[in-house]
Structure 1
Amino acid sequence: MPDPAPRTRPHRHPHPRVTVIGGGFAGLTAAITAAESGALVTLHEAHGTLGGRARTAEGPYRTNEGPHALYSRGPHWAWLTQRDLLGPLAAVPAREGARFRFHRHGKLRRTPPLAMLRLARRAPEQAPVDMDFTTWATGIAGPEAARAAAHYAAVALFHHDPGSLSARFVQERLHRATALPPEAHYPRGGWGEVIDRMAARAWDLGVRIETSARVDALPENRPVIVATSLDAARRLLRDASLTWPSGRTVLLDLALRADRRSDPFVVSDLDAPGWLERFTAQDPSLAPAGQHLLQGQFPIAPRTPKADGVAHAERILDAGFHDWRARTVRRREAIANGRTGAVDHPGTTWRDRPAIDRGDGVLLAGDQVAAPGVLAEVAFNSAITAATLAVRAVGALRAVKGAGAARP
């Protein structure tokens, strides 16, 4: 889509205007929501392209920033569908679903422990907020199942020690990640295709989108929605209280030449938190013909070297992917530090995270703020709330301006 920044549209209303800082999933959701309510909106994105962590790489390998999927029971699913923004989805063929493997006791297995599946069926509301997941789950299903469940849930946590987190927080993610039918769906062509459709929708609504437009100081015009990472928001707002724990994980992208043997579709490590997925199983267009595209994430502790996460990934590859080193045609590694969403420790919930409304017309949106949901749902829910509050503020400002103009 061409950069809409240099184009202009006639203003439908006089000022005030909603300003959105950040052009990722949260920023675009907020901009669309505010514009649909009739507000004038300007969106600033520091990078040359929109999307944030939802960007999909250009070129022959259509990688996301780590494993990505859309959960179909979340509120953003209905919102995207209603606006025809979801687009075509890539289904996992039945034969590929049968190649889901669990790494347990050093070997690949077709099934996880039965006690883990029984634990996963428990409603999240049954899990306590003020107890860690391992303690709670061990009392119900025993230590082995508790350990396996915590490590399996890491697919939605990106954390090196998921068992230490709040039982309620982990159980919600475990319950969603093991739901039948599966909640995870894959936008064909990668998440970037969804972002392109959202950007087009924003433009059609009159949103002024400015890319390569870094904002280093909070704008004076309010309301303003800061839809950046929490670290960036803390610097921009000069507010030291804007902190919340997140995960740290090694991201691996790997392209392999196809082999006559059957590569697994997914390997979930139940011995330690780790996840490796062959994304071309559901969408072959993500890599050149005859190649497989794998993406994985292997959480590491705060001071653990990247090499440890890479070594973990290679152990999983050795266990499941025949002769993968000789078949490798592309490899990329990175660390995602504090960029994988909020994690809630015992005694805390999403309500304890940094508030969306910061006062004085400043609002936050993103995946580490006070909004419910799993993965991208937090960014979506916070964006809807922030946009709603911004539109109300715009209405109040217009009313004040109107009253002033009516005075003799």
Structure 2
Amino acid sequence: MGSSPSPSTGRSPSTDFGPSTGITVVGGGLAGLTAAITAAEAGARVTLHEAHRTLGGRARTAEGPYAANEGPHALYRRGPHWHWLKQRGLLGPLANPPLREAARFRFHHGGALRRIPPAGLFALARRSAERAPTDVDFLTWATERAGPATARAAAHYVAVALFHHDPGSLSAAFVQERLRRAAALPPEATYPAGGWGGLTARMAGHARNLGVRIETSTRVDTLPDGPVVVATSLDAARRLLKDDGLRWPGGRTVLLDLALRTRRGDPFVVSDLDAPGWLERFTAQDPSLAPAGEQLVQGQIPIGPGTPRAEGLARAEHLLDLGFPGWRERTVWRREALANGRTGAVDPPGTTWRDRPRIDRGGTGVFLAGDQVAAPGVLSEVAFTSGITAASLALKALARISAGGA
């Protein structure tokens, strides 16, 4: 059970689990697919249930001519899931912006668009996350080292990796880790060509090749027999497991997708340093995401509890006015959404990822996975890491059942 995957196939030497019940995975997002693959590679019989008709969770890519993800997504090269996917041949083609596009990075600061950020922002980003305290908020810690203006700008910049309306109020260690990753040079971010839907399709195909039974449009209301990996949102897990303790703070974010007729000179990114917000022209790195002559722009504007969606949309439109002249007349497609509690975990001061809801639910044969549970990493890395951990624990539970003759 503790053997390592083969470097060439990712498959662990199989274990004879006998005729016992297999492992059930509830949820077909990144965490669920990762858990299913991990369990199947070890020889377990795996069934995956997804309530929607398509797999992917928040990594779904819209159907039709505009391949928009559910919010701006990127795959960080240093993340553990990068190596996991690469080992199994699942990364697929990747897209990165050409240098001429990367140079069109703009910062909204002091009410205007600028080509460079405030002095000191990237110097602050290079500080070690390990030296940032857990029990102090980021704004207090960063202000002591870089001054209030730079600290506020850095807090707003890192919202791209947090989807939270007030990053400065969160744990300094938590925010600093994400600031280092988001501001790394050379950039860590890369993009699955064609959108994240291609990545999840490859993962699903690999799972099926391993024998995983995948059932879509099937909602699980009661727990089946045998080990179960619940790879859903915490809200859905709380209802399924009837456990009111499955709570953790996340972000609340307005998402805006636009297809615009192409105009030369549009920025690649507009990072709002006056308030948390981010616009990204995804066709800069992957023109296939929109028809010829059009470009896909995706934005996320975090808003606080009780703040109306219209306020976030107004801020997004103000950034568009500054960075994308004539965008209203050029718009050929538009989509809006409010992501509430679906943006991953954030850690308040005094907490770390270890304080989030535990993966192992205490000997019940139920294991949690997703991006709001007790696993390390940034954004989707939490889902991958927790999926692998949950599957490994489920395999041990299955081995105990098999050994007992159940």
Q: Give the TM-score, by structure 2 length.
A: 0.95
Asked whether 1:31 is paired with 2:42, we answer no
Task: Look up the SS of the partner of 2:65 in the other structure.
Answer: coil
Aligned with 2:97 (options 92, 100, 103) = 92
Residue of structure 2 equivalent to 1:6 = none
Post-superposition CA distance 1:90-140 (Å, at most 9, x none):
121010000001000011111111211110000101110000000000000
Residue of structure 2 equivalent to 1:125 = 130
AA aligned opposite 2:142: A
Structure-2 separation of matches of 1:13 and 1:215: 25
AA aligned opposite 1:248: R
AA aligned opposite 1:308: E
Structure-1 separation of matches of 2:300 and 2:211: 38
Aligned with 1:161 (options 166, 169, 177) = 166
Aligned with 1:44 (options 25, 44, 49) = 49
Post-superposition CA distance 1:277-329 (Å, at most 9, x none):
00000000100100010000000001000000000001100111111111111
Is the Cα contact below 8 Å between 1:90 and 1:186 reproduced in 2? yes
Aligned with 2:237 (options 233, 236, 245) = 233
Structure-2 separation of matches of 1:258 and 1:13: 59
Structure-2 separation of matches of 1:13 and 1:305: 55
AA aligned opposite 1:91: N
After TM superposition, list the pairs within 5 Å mapping 1:2-401 onto structure 2: 13-219=18-224, 221-259=225-263, 261-359=264-362, 360-401=364-405
Is the Cα contact below 8 Å between 2:163 and 2:252 reproduced in 1? yes
Shift of 1:181: 1.2
Task: Look up the SS of the partner of 2:69 in the other structure.
Answer: coil
Is the Cα contact below 8 Å between 1:21 and 1:45 reproduced in 2? yes
Shift of 1:267: 0.3
AA aligned opposite 1:166: S
Unaligned 5+ segments in structure 2 are 1-15
Is the Cα contact below 8 Å between 1:13 and 1:40 reproduced in 2? no
Shift of 1:12: 8.9
AA aligned opposite 2:383: A
Is the Cα contact below 8 Å between 1:365 and 1:379 reproduced in 2? yes
Post-superposition CA distance 1:174-206 (Å, at most 9, x none):
000011111100000000000000000000000
Shift of 1:13: 4.6
Is the Cα contact below 8 Å between 2:17 and 2:402 reproduced in 1? no
Shift of 1:394: 1.0
Structure-1 separation of matches of 2:243 and 2:397: 22
Determine what percentage of the aligned residue pairs are the same residue. 73
Post-superposition CA distance 1:133-192 (Å, at most 9, x none):
000000000000000000000000000010000000000000000111111000000000
Structure 1 stretches of at least 4 aligned residues deviating more than 6 Å after TM superposition: none
AA aligned opposite 1:385: T
RMSD (CA atoms): 1.1
Structure-2 separation of matches of 1:174 and 1:343: 14
Structure-1 separation of matches of 2:226 and 2:342: 27
Q: Aligned pairs, how many? A: 390
Shift of 1:372: 0.4
Residue of structure 1 equivalent to 2:5 = none
Structure-1 separation of matches of 2:80 and 2:21: 29
Post-superposition CA distance 1:27-72 (Å, at most 9, x none):
0000000000111100000011111100001110000000001011
Q: Give the TM-score, by structure 1 length.
A: 0.94
Is the Cα contact below 8 Å between 2:30 and 2:57 reproduced in 1? yes
Task: Look up the SS of the partner of 1:339 in the other structure.
Answer: coil
Structure-2 separation of matches of 1:13 and 1:376: 34
AA aligned opposite 2:392: T
Structure-2 separation of matches of 1:276 and 1:379: 24
Task: Look up the SS of the partner of 2:120 in the other structure.
Answer: helix
Residue of structure 2 equivalent to 1:5 = none
Structure-1 separation of matches of 2:23 and 2:223: 13
Shift of 1:340: 0.2
